[in-house]
Chains A and B, each alone.
Chain A
Amino acid sequence: MTALSRREFLTRLGGASATLPLDLIRARRAGAVIPALLSSPSPKGQRVVLVDPGGRCVLRESVAGFAQGLAAAGVAHELFQAGAIRLSKLLLVPGATLGSLAFTEELCACAERGTTVLYESGAAYAAPQAFATEQRLLARCFGVDVRPPVHLGTETSEAAGEPRCTPYIVYAWPTRLHVRDFSRIIPVVAPTSCAMATYGETPVACRREVGRGAFIFLGSPLGPHLLANDREAHAWLRALVAA
């Protein structure tokens, strides 16, 4: 652990407060235990870290999909369990639910220190109570406002004789392309400047600056498409790593 001088600590804390959610600043001032990451040096070493959310993972194939996507792109990465995350330039958290304040703060602390945290929510596939927790934690710690999941239901509409449509998510960042949706989206209430993907007119992903890093919320899973070798999903991941 690297020791910080009082001046350095105050400088970093002051700099971070411009973008930090209020709850986290209060928690830190009250002595909440997230110093391991806060006081560690800026991201060095391993560029990409893949987090296995363990019991918080709702979409197991997303973890496999992101691992496969990174391997296909020739990107070296390490796999860590939630609760033992190491700082990196890019942190990928696939198919997860936040579940607890501690895990959320662990991710938030990484972002504050300069990591880009990609959080692919699996909450649309979790119980309503788990989604409610997700909604609360996202707003509280990252300032991301999400709405209840929407089931795109192409199969049901087909059965009902309604016109079928292919649910494509249009990504505008880090590269512009279309990826098929995995059938359930979590809408995001985000200004145009933050929204990075939409389903029709509805934002389903956003990017927010947090401290010296960023938090990317994906409300439409990409991992299953990476596992299925969807070309555009792989292109998106490659662009993210290169961004």
Chain B
Amino acid sequence: MKKAIGDNLIPHGWSFEQGLELIKKAGYDGVELWLGDVPWFQMNTPDAAVLDLLRKVESADLVVSNVSTGLHWETPLSARDPQARARAMRIVERQLETAQLLKTDAILVVAGLVTESVPYNEVYARCVAALQELGEKAAQARVRIGCENCNAEQRFLLSPREFHTFLDDVNRPYVGLHLDVGNIHDTGFAEQWVEIHGPRITRIHLKDVKKHRGRCGNESVYTNLFLGDNNWPAIRAALTKVGYDGWLVAEMEDRYHFAKDQQFYDTAAAIDRLIAGRL
């Protein structure tokens, strides 16, 4: 397995190049690029500039693990407004295009958002339809779309079996699961998601989670690896069981009050131990 971390964790005020240098120095193999979340990689960033990002990544002796985005929280594929849905589709298309430019084969998509006004059944149907269409484009690009399990925040596809049924309904080989082992909270066990989805997992986001704890003010349910309630030996064993040998991508919250670069080193060391099974 290889380890990566998102460029959205590069400390505020640092340049992309400084961030890459830190990522390399901390021992990562790759970097996850977040479309729309960082100043250097936006929807209107032209192809030439994207290629320049790739050049900088390669100069730092890294590779791009995948292309992610948080833009679908504001503009979901499940929106009622057809124009918003068209924008959401375009975001995914741009992710596919940039993934090809950046020489990676996976993107992360937050598939749908259930709200009080956009109910579950609408979200489900729209997401299936959208991903069937996008799945064709992904196949042409040879880039896999990983739908992330954002269980609590999305209020959508809460269980691994439900997610499995969803992917069955989409029925496109280039559409799978970008598994976030920290997002399952109190609704299940990450290792069971790993077991159930196996080869459909495109990438894995790593963070730890504190169960039995709702959000309260600035308190988060998320925490650094090994500080929360995830059963890491069980997760590691499940990865072995299903033969996962892909990217482990750290998706941490920016929680260090001082020496923010230290989080990169600490997280890399924790991932090393996870990969080695020294838990």
Contacts and interface: CB of A to CB of B under 8 A. Distances in A.
B198 A231 contact: yes
A165 B241 CA distance: 13
A5 interface: no
Contacts of B238: 166
B233 to A, nearest CB: 6
A191 interface: no
Interface string A177-205: 11110000000000000000000000000
A145 interface: no
A164 B230 CA distance: 11
Contacts, number: 29
A80 to B, nearest CB: 33
Interface footprint category on A: 10 to 19
Most buried by A among B191, B238, B240, B241: B241
A230 interface: yes
Nearest to A231: B198
B242 interface: yes
Contact of A232 (B233, B234, B237, B241): B241
Contact of B234 (A166, A177, A230): A166
B237 A231 contact: no
Given A180-B195, A231-B242, A164 B231 contact: yes
Interface in B221-243: 231, 233-234, 237-238, 240-242
Given A178-B240, A232-B241, A165 B233 contact: yes
Contacts of B191: 166
Contact of A168 (B198, B199, B237): B237
A163 interface: yes
B198 A165 contact: no
Interface of A: 163-166, 168, 177-180, 230-232
Given A166-B234, A180-B241, 5 more contacts: A164-B231, A164-B233, A164-B234, A178-B240, A231-B199
Closest 7 CB pairs of A and B: A178-B241, A166-B234, A166-B237, A231-B198, A164-B231, A168-B237, A165-B233
Interface of B: 191, 195, 198-199, 231, 233-234, 237-238, 240-242
